[in-house]
Structure 1
Amino acid sequence: MKKTTRRIAVTASATAVFSSALLGSPAQAASLSSEAAAICGSGYYVQRSSVLSDRETQGVTAFQLYNSSSKKNCAVTLKHPTSSSFYGDKTTLGAGIRAEDGSWVKDEGAYAYYAGPVYISAASKCVQFWGKTYQSGASSVWYETYTSPLGNCG
């Protein structure tokens, strides 16, 4: 229940940030990075990201973030508000993260705006992040996944 409550609260925040992006505020990439950090929580910053799909109608980006105070890693996958015709519609999204030699922690489901956040502690280990999108339109299906190499070791 706690996750559902957080998702609702952050979705309202996401709508506000993404609405301003649609009106031509700061660059979309900066807005997406800021939103990813807000979803993970206070003190998180983007370490790496990968655009899963930047085609005209289904933009999605996966993010790996870190909080140096808590020493935790976070992963989220976000739809692009200005280039995803599926923004606001529930489609399959996934976000995942794992420490070197560890198991994946994933969130995968039908989401309107983002998947995640998922968290791990990975002191003295390298980290991988993962993202997934599956969207189907009237005449097309888009399926993209990304698994990063191990990185951000420490």
Structure 2
Amino acid sequence: MLAKAILLTAAIGLSGVVATPAGATAARSPESICGSGFWIVKGGTQPVKTSSGRRYGTVYLLYSRSSGENCVVTVKSSFVGTKTPMSAMLTVQPKGKKVVERVDSGKFAYYAGPVKYYAANACVKFWGSIKPNGHDPAVAGGGRQAWGNCT
């Protein structure tokens, strides 16, 4: 029986099948959530916290030079793995055009987003929110409400 167990273990190791612990998706970086070529911009990492200062996560603003898109994701640091109301919002103001707002909201276990929109030759705002179910009546929020990262 021991020989069969060793043989099975060796076969699994050679086949590339590896057991992944539950919750491994929580360790994804903002760059991997947005996709290849995206990087966090200057000032693009903001805490998501309540007015009393409780921090529940971080909202990120990323940009891709190759696609000209911005990307926003809100990532939890509290209540990870529990589905709670969250959002990620990107607002884009293209020069001489109407303001565009994109939002991803719902109940998520790890992160909200990615929210992407073409933003070359535009200014952007970004925001994220997290509301823990039944724990704290306050909604945690963070981001930048002033126009910035104008390209």
Shift >2 Å, 4+ stretches: 53-59
Are residues 62 and 72 of structure 1, via their aligned partners in 2, closer, same or farther at CA, if it must alter by over 3 Å? same
Normalized per residue, the structure richer in helix is 1
8 Å CA contact 2:70, 2:119 repeated in 1: yes
Distance 1:39 1:76 in 2: 8
Q: Map 1:5-154; keep pairs closer than 5 Å.
A: 15=24, 18=27, 35-47=29-41, 48-53=44-49, 59-80=56-77, 84=78, 86-100=79-93, 101-137=98-134, 140-148=136-144, 149-154=146-151
Identity %: 34
8 Å CA contact 2:87, 2:113 repeated in 1: yes
Q: Bigger radius of gyration, 1 or 2? A: 2
Unpaired runs of 5+ residues, structure 2, are: 1-20
Are residues 57 and 146 of structure 1, via their aligned partners in 2, closer, same or farther at CA, if it must alter by over 3 Å? closer
Unpaired runs of 5+ residues, structure 1, are: 1-11, 19-33
Structure-1-length-normalised TM-score: 0.70
8 Å CA contact 1:58, 1:79 repeated in 2: no
Q: Which has the higher contact order (CA 8 A, sep 6+)?
A: 2
After alignment, is 104-113 or 51-60 more displaced?
51-60
